[in-house]
Amino acid sequence: MKRKNLDSAPWIWRTISTVSILATLLLLFGFGYAIKDVIFPTGDSTLGTTQPSTTPADEAGKPTAPIEEGKIRMAVIGDSLARGTGDDEGLGFVRRAGNLLKEQGYDVQVLNNLGVNGLRTDALLNKLDEQGVRYVLQQSNFILLSIGANDLFQGGQVLQGEDPPTAEQLAAALPETSKRLQEILKKVKEINPDAQIAYIGLYNPFGDVKELELPGNTVVAAWNDAALTILNQEDKMMLVPTFDLFENHLGEYLSSDHFHPNGAGYEEIATRIAQEYQAETAAEGGTN
């Protein structure tokens, strides 16, 4: 009887070893799947539960299948306005625009918010080379972009100086900044040539500050004109104007930092985005 038990021992240990190996492989598979979700996020599921219908990027770095017609897959990239800073509800203009389009009957999903507080045009150019950022943009067919305010207004710090800047001083950043904006739009277009790209125009957050009203209005108007000229050079690009929304309503639409919109301000921008999207797609004869 003892001999029989000893003979069966190797089989018992082999079985245990096999089970251990299988468990290890299963653990490694689960870890790899979790890492994939971190590097390639599937996006915000609060606007629709349908996952992006594109497949992972191929070797050329472009989606291998189009997004199903009639579906809007949104992503936003850029600065703190893209992030939604100042919105007491934490929605920002992208989630609010998505909700408005859903109310109009669109199938909408916000894939990801790639906004970064304080981001400037030079940093955004570098960010567009990141694999995860490129993947999100490739999976989108409606890309929102907000950038430039930190370059022109130093993130609102122009209020901190003893002597307010003149229009000429503010405009000094225009040539290089507008050149980088053109490079940014070109790069986004290369990443996803089929997406509708909407650039959010600037407003003057200091229009109610006597010393900064005229200089701010002047540089913002020049910037928006330069942006429109760049956007008109490509198809599937549009400007979403915001200057007129805030011009006479700064106390109503700005947050306490006197630079970013509050919830009501973001709602106004979102409404304009939804209107511009519908007008653009109607002109093209359908949704993307």
- C-alpha radius of gyration, the chain, whole number: 25
- Distance CA(91)–CA(110), nearest Å, equals 11
Q: Which pLDDT belongs to residue 40?
A: 40
Q: Which pLDDT belongs to residue 160?
A: 59
**Closest alpha carbon to 199 in 102, 84, 277, 126:** 277
DSSP H helices in the chain:
2-39, 80-83, 92-103, 121-127, 131-138, 149-153, 167-171, 174-191, 210-231, 243-246, 250-253, 263-284
Determine the average pLDDT of the residues in 208-231: 94
Which of 39-53, 160-174, 264-278 is predicted most confidently?
264-278
CA atoms within 13 A on the CB side of 55: 4
Q: Which amino acid belongs to residue 117?
A: N
- Distance CA(284)–CA(288), nearest Å, equals 9
- Distance CA(224)–CA(226), nearest Å, equals 5
Higher per-residue pLDDT: 46 or 208? 208
Share of the chain above pLDDT 90, in %: 64
> How many residues in the chain?
288
pLDDT band at 136, cuts 50/70/90?
A: very high
- Distance CA(119)–CA(149), nearest Å, equals 9
- Distance CA(205)–CA(85), nearest Å, equals 14
Q: Which pLDDT belongs to residue 31?
A: 39
Q: What is the pLDDT of residues 144-158, one digit of tens each?
A: 999 999 999 875 555
pLDDT band at 43, cuts 50/70/90?
A: very low
Q: Are 85 and 116 in contact (CB under 8 A)?
A: no
Beta strands 196-200 and 142-146: pairing type?
Answer: parallel
Q: Which pLDDT belongs to residue 18?
A: 59
